[in-house]
Structure 1
């Protein structure tokens, strides 16, 4: 999964630069020898500097913004973070947990002058909230690391005087958002996962691995088969994203040209994987299959296994009883070994319990080829089973129009700024004014 919804210090103002602990301590005591703005005792800057000492922040930089606010950057446990503090800070904060970064790509260093959140952080800042985001200690499947980094950022802001905090997150960051809200129920007043892996990473792997083994079954012995057909959980050097693209485009081209065998393959894959929320399209097939290339090796190394088994699963939807029977007899079965610890890893990082006290507003594209919309009703059921439905609202964004044979759309996390900011304002109104948003509301910006 590519990082979805995924910074330079301002040149004006007096930068603090790299500040030693000794100089920071002098600042706390009111000295002005550190080249800072000489902020008065108790100011936002002073509280941030004091909090930075307590949190062992390194490479701290505090820069005055032209609008009177502060740009704050630094590192905690060698992980970079960024915070924008408005001049009219209302004492509350909004944190944005970023999504998946493909292994091999660098983790982006957060920049308070850049917004990775469809405008959410920029809007919240203008409304008087401190706006913050952080990198993680690793790329790829990094829920554990994302929880740790965002928890540290929360604690820094709390020590700096933030009395109320919101946690938001996109894609994998949605799973991190749910984890933080459940693991630290006193930390957040509101939570907003969007296009998130809300029902847990096992559900996400179930979708991705089921799609792969079903695709392998129906394309076995055809021109559309992928290298490694029949072994979806062993990385294969011959399996590349261009190879996947070529195979899928060939399949859809044949189907579009009237090839009934190709049409049947597509129909059966869609019927069995039960992903009507990912419309039948080239990109709807390529997206989950490509995760086998860029995501599987890191996932297996991180978790120690697949964390998901289809050993006892009964597949259906082929269109006939005999077809279902043949599928169940011939599909690859993935089993967990006796000493496999990956399932426990997924439980911890993170499978939700549904127990949280924050007001949570989750929204999702009804068409998402990577993190399917079906995870939302699963999450709703988990929350209901925990007796916590009063704290959850879910809303939807409709898909953009697509060409079934094109390599564009439907997209993962396909939102407009208006949709994201609108949802944020709904959440804020719920938390701060008691106005609960409409559950199931279509918030699509059709203009």
Structure 2
């Protein structure tokens, strides 16, 4: 063990060398001590930047945060926490927070995972080995976190996914294709609107705007609204999906559809064309398909099928006929090489070797809560179900967790790592943890069981995603 005198000498030497931080050399699994809170920013050999915040009274746990999707061309700063309020609470409790920018933007999993692990190595070199390392992330960062949990579990002790794309890349792009396919087939069958194979972002903008215009026009008629609801159902878009929306009554079909209409437009403007185009470039082609898909069967499994049937009845429109139209429409085939790339880089085996807690809001339109069903399917098939637990927050929107809810999830995972057993993963216990962690923000965990993910695809099944 390094003596206090030698530690002080080491710190004086570090300061004299103009290092940003003082580091004490400690044995494996022993946290380094610092005289004051430290904030470090730097750059990795990949070009990614990193950020580290270490409190003076570091508790020995480092949280490796993976941020969400950054659009191509957007600012790409390093991030080491989900939001300022949650970061402040964590630092106050002694956690070290680290994270990188990833070297590239977009569907950057092949950069994100090595950049995150490299950031962890830089942290260890500077501060010493952490007593405990937890990987966590939100949204696309949940996919990055789960990739680390499956492929680099030796670097971490456990993982926490928040509102994550835990269904994996192939499933994501298949399920993103279905609603736009339905909108085009039912609202604009003769329009020249490409759904895949977009050559550049300008073409993505043109296609997104063209189909959005068709949706806006359709929203003015009862038949159009019913068809928009059908498209929404194929993506499991919830009827309450933004905190600013009124939560509609269980039988207020019109209010439910009005909420979905806004989410459908968001899907068109965000993921269905612009993000798809960037991902297709990385994959080397179109990585999704709907050949062989029975849309009547998909609707039958959707979380909002009742709303669709009621709106069709109200409009005097034949749902059977529209489903037949969808099933007759010319289908889209995938590029096998692109599917292989997306499968290898961005899909999951379900084989966990360290505990993972995955948490989702129930009103998420961008990454529907049913992704948790896909994760559970893969983990169960791989024989790892004892290592996975899932929690659900009764709120609308994507990643709209309170600081209290996020700390409750973290503390629940930590309890599992300490005791070797899952305890307190029920909604009441999670809410009690949340209230204790931060009584100033909401605690809204609820008992919940999501319906099936409509187009699952994982490496634990020999499945074509239907």
- Name the TM-score, length of structure 2 as normaliser: 0.72
1:103 aligns with 2:103: no
- Change in Cα spacing, 1:237 to 1:121, as seen in structure 2 (3 Å) is closer
Give yes or no for contact 1:314–1:328 (8 Å, CA) kept in 2: yes
Match of 1:143 in 2: 109
329, 332, 335: which one aligns with 2:333: 335
SS in 2 for 1:361: strand
Q: Distance in 2 between matches of 1:109 and 1:71?
A: 13
Match of 2:231 in 1: 269
Match of 2:290 in 1: 310
Q: Distance in 1 between matches of 2:139 and 2:341?
A: 19
Give yes or no for contact 2:55–2:94 (8 Å, CA) kept in 1: yes
- Change in Cα spacing, 1:357 to 1:282, as seen in structure 2 (3 Å) is same
Match of 1:17 in 2: none
Match of 2:316 in 1: none
Figure out how many residues of one structure are paired with residues of the other and give that number.
Answer: 379
1:297 aligns with 2:277: yes
The structure whose residues are more often helix, as a share, is 2
Give yes or no for contact 2:349–2:378 (8 Å, CA) kept in 1: yes
SS in 2 for 1:381: helix
- Change in Cα spacing, 1:118 to 1:311, as seen in structure 2 (3 Å) is farther
Give the deviation of 1:307 after TM superposition. 1.7
Where do 5+ consecutive residues of structure 1 fail to align?
1-25, 50-63, 401-410
Q: Distance in 2 between matches of 1:100 and 1:238?
A: 18
Give the deviation of 1:206 after TM superposition. 1.2
Give yes or no for contact 2:215–2:228 (8 Å, CA) kept in 1: no
Give yes or no for contact 2:170–2:347 (8 Å, CA) kept in 1: yes
Matches within 5 A, 1:37-52: 39=22, 41-42=24-25
Match of 1:416 in 2: 402
Match of 1:369 in 2: 365
Match of 2:244 in 1: none
1:393 aligns with 2:361: no
Give the deviation of 1:272 after TM superposition. 4.4
Q: Distance in 2 between matches of 1:358 and 1:267?
A: 40
Give the deviation of 1:268 after TM superposition. 2.9
Give yes or no for contact 1:315–1:328 (8 Å, CA) kept in 2: yes
Where do 5+ consecutive residues of structure 2 fail to align?
1-8, 242-255, 300-307, 310-318, 432-441, 446-466
Q: Distance in 1 between matches of 2:234 and 2:272?
A: 19
Match of 2:130 in 1: 162
Match of 1:87 in 2: 56
Q: Distance in 1 between matches of 2:20 and 2:204?
A: 55
Q: Distance in 2 between matches of 1:30 and 1:76?
A: 24
SS in 1 for 2:149: helix
Match of 1:427 in 2: 413
- Change in Cα spacing, 1:184 to 1:232, as seen in structure 2 (3 Å) is closer
- Change in Cα spacing, 1:435 to 1:234, as seen in structure 2 (3 Å) is closer
Give yes or no for contact 1:361–1:392 (8 Å, CA) kept in 2: yes
156, 175, 194: which one aligns with 2:143: 175
Matches within 5 A, 1:153-232: 153-159=119-125, 160-220=128-188, 228-229=192-193, 231-232=195-196
- Change in Cα spacing, 1:274 to 1:129, as seen in structure 2 (3 Å) is closer
SS in 2 for 1:149: helix
Give the deviation of 1:242 after TM superposition. 5.6
Deviates more, 1:343-352 or 1:378-387: 343-352
Q: Distance in 1 between matches of 2:235 and 2:62?
A: 40
Give yes or no for contact 2:178–2:234 (8 Å, CA) kept in 1: no
Match of 1:4 in 2: none
Q: Distance in 1 between matches of 2:20 and 2:208?
A: 51
Kindly provide the CA deviation profile for residues 329-373 of structure 1, in whole angstroms up to 9, marking residues without a partner as x: 11x422134xx4211211222211111222211111112111111
Kindly provide the CA deviation profile for residues 142-171 of structure 1, in whole angstroms up to 9, marking residues without a partner as x: 111111111112222334222320000111
Deviates more, 1:297-306 or 1:310-319: 310-319
Q: Distance in 1 between matches of 2:217 and 2:21?
A: 66
Kindly provide the CA deviation profile for residues 367-401 of structure 1, in whole angstroms up to 9, marking residues without a partner as x: 2111111111111011011111111111112234x
92, 95, 103: which one aligns with 1:129: 95
Match of 1:438 in 2: 425
Q: Distance in 2 between matches of 1:262 and 1:438?
A: 43
Give yes or no for contact 1:172–1:196 (8 Å, CA) kept in 2: yes
SS in 2 for 1:215: helix
Kindly provide the CA deviation profile for residues 172-210 of structure 1, in whole angstroms up to 9, marking residues without a partner as x: 100000000110122211211111000101111112111
